[in-house]
Amino acid sequence: MSRKLGIIAGGGPLPGQVAQAALASGRDVFIIGLEGFASPEVLRPFTHKFFRLGALGAIHQALRDEACLDLVMIGPVKRPSILSLRPDLEGTRLLARVGKAAFSGDDGLLSAIVRIMNEEGFTVLGAHEIMTDMLAPAGVLTTRAPDAEALADIDRGVAALKLIGLADIGQACVVQQGIILAVEAVEGTDAMLSRIPAVHRPGPAGVLVKIAKPGQEKRADMPTVGVATITHAANAGLRGIAYEAGATILANRVQMIAAAEDAGLFLVGIDAASGPESGEQSA
């Protein structure tokens, strides 16, 4: 019998999609919904319980009680301050093992949490190990493809993101005509895109570029592009989205492509190590 999967769910539809894929493969699932982040509607079809983020000890015990051996952390969660976290007693013990990583940015904290969960006997998996078809392929997925100017903007964005990624700042930026219009920070990609109409320039529109940070813990925080990203990019007046092939989750790929086609946007998976891959269309 397949090992039972525990899912720690943040926001968005992905926790439900991962749960459905696990069930389809013969796994039982149990979901921990993080209060204020996870959607009750998304979790309703599955066995689940809600906990506040700081109830780390209670979350740990619930996973034990449900005999979960494998664990996936999926869905956006804004990292709170330590003062607002209010950990329970067991959570305080676990956070003490994290140490300075709790204050060192998202990557340090997430890597430490993955290490601790492994030490506590769980096997932490990436969501893409459950939904093997969710990783972005290389190449163009839409009828429209990036032109030479858009490819240059993508190159510019990749170079910028590698620099800010080393400082654990963000995974995304918008580039127009070689100018960095906005960089993602703690507010997230959608909020960053809401700023673009106020700063865009006349002429060819900009491009959203999204790649993983150098050394990022991909089992807990992989870049994600979904239908909402398409909507926000279209509202920002962009002409396309470039994302790192093999290191980006495409949520609801079929719906994403349809939304991009309707909006006249291109979608392209790139090799962030070497630059844009305009190549042939991918299925």
Co-location of 177 and 126 in the same domain: no
Q: Do 161 and 242 belong together in one domain?
A: yes
Query: Reading across the β-sheet that carries 29-34, which strands appear in turn?
Result: 48-51, 29-34, 5-9, 70-74, 123-125
Instruction: Give me the CATH number covering residue 264.
Output: 3.40.140.80
Give me the pLDDT at residue 278, please: 43
pLDDT at 92: 73
pLDDT tens digits for 71-109? 998 888 776 555 556 777 776 776 676 665 555 555 555
Read off the pTM: 0.81
Which of 3-12, 143-152, 232-241, 259-268 is least confident?
3-12
> Is-contact 198 224, C-beta < 8 A?
no
Cα distance between residue 93 and residue 202, in whole Å: 55
Please tell me the total count of domains within the chain: 2
Q: Which residues pair with 225 in a beta bridge?
A: 250
**pLDDT, mean of residues 106-129:** 77
Quick check: is 202 in a domain? yes
Nearest Cα to 136, choosing from 269, 43, 35?
A: 269
Quick count: other Cβ atoms within 10 Å of Cβ 109?
21
Q: Is residue 283 part of a domain?
A: no
Do the beta carbons of residue 4 and residue 27 sit within 8 Å?
A: yes
Here the tokens at position 95 are 């956070």
Output phi, psi for 38, to 5 deg: -70, 145
Q: What are phi and psi of 120, to 5 degrees?
A: -85, 5
Query: Among the three residues 101, 130, 159, which one is the final residue of a domain in this structure?
Result: 130
93 with 198, same domain?
Answer: no
pLDDT tens figures, 142-200: 999 999 999 999 999 999 999 998 887 889 999 999 999 999 988 889 999 999 999 99
H/E element, 184: none
CATH number at residue 51: 3.40.50.20
Host domain of residue 42: 5-130
Task: State whether 125 and 145 are in the same domain.
Answer: no
> Is the pLDDT reported for residue 280 higher than 70?
no
Among 124-128, 144-148, 214-218, 235-239, name the one with the lowest average pLDDT. 214-218
